[in-house]
Amino acid sequence: MEIRLDQKTAIVTGGGSGIGAAISLAFASAGANVFLLDLEEENATATLNQIRQNGGKAHFVQADVSQQSAMIAAAKSVLKETGRIDILVNNAGIAHIGTLGTTDEADFDRIYQVNVKGVYNGMYAVVEQMKKQGSGVILNMASIASTIGLPDRFAYSMSKGAVLNMTYTVARDYIEYGIRCNALSPARIHTPFVDGFIAKNYPGREQEMFEQLSKTQPIGRMGKPAEVANLALYLCSEQASFITGTDFPIDGGFLKLNT
């Protein structure tokens, strides 16, 4: 059964690269009018051009998810263009490595501003419009770190735990308005960020560390951005109309099969 998003307006934060780019491409291929919200114009432009070359509809809106005024302005610009907002994917996020003792206040605040407040700002900017429409889908990017303790991920895990709980409460508070809200919880996905992290922290051992990190997933490899995008496409489609208030791990068996 083909999954389509024809006539749907979708906002994807962090839509210019990595998982966000894959989601933007998948949504556009399914017929959605996609608005890529990103700070980095270069990556977003490349994704935008790829979508348009494939015959899809897409637009770039430069916005900082940590700033509520910027997100409200971005939502207003989308509404001016299309008259509605059907889908919001809160994908933008940043990582941090460190324990409680090695995470300073500036690091903690930075993670909070983007990963927690950024998701709040995105939902806040669109929810009243979705209420008026009587429909809408919100998909938040959580993580396996939302539900388990990962070593050296204190601030990051804090932020993703908050994302998961915001997902549950928004799903409950807005179910009567026809708004669905779910979360995705990936394990390690092979993106340019992963390659950069390995190159920075393990110079000369890139291949060794890539293989080591890949094998932490029971399935024996990292996930692909397109695999996350395929699940996002389903959850934001009419085929998933009975699904809300749920977290979907996409983790190669990490949560249930690691012993």
Options 120, 124, 156, 174, the catalytic residue: 156
Distances in whole angstroms, Cα of residue 166 to Cα of each of 44, 155, 172, 209, 246: 27, 17, 10, 34, 11
168 labelled catalytic: no
Q: 76 by DSSP, 3-state: which?
A: helix
Residue 247's closest CA among 165, 170, 182?
182
Q: What is the largest CA-CA distance in the chain?
A: 55
Sheet containing strand 136-141, strands side by side: 57-62, 33-38, 9-13, 87-90, 136-141, 179-186, 247-250
Residues 6+ apart with CB under 8 A from 124: 68, 71, 72
| Catalytic residue ranges | 156
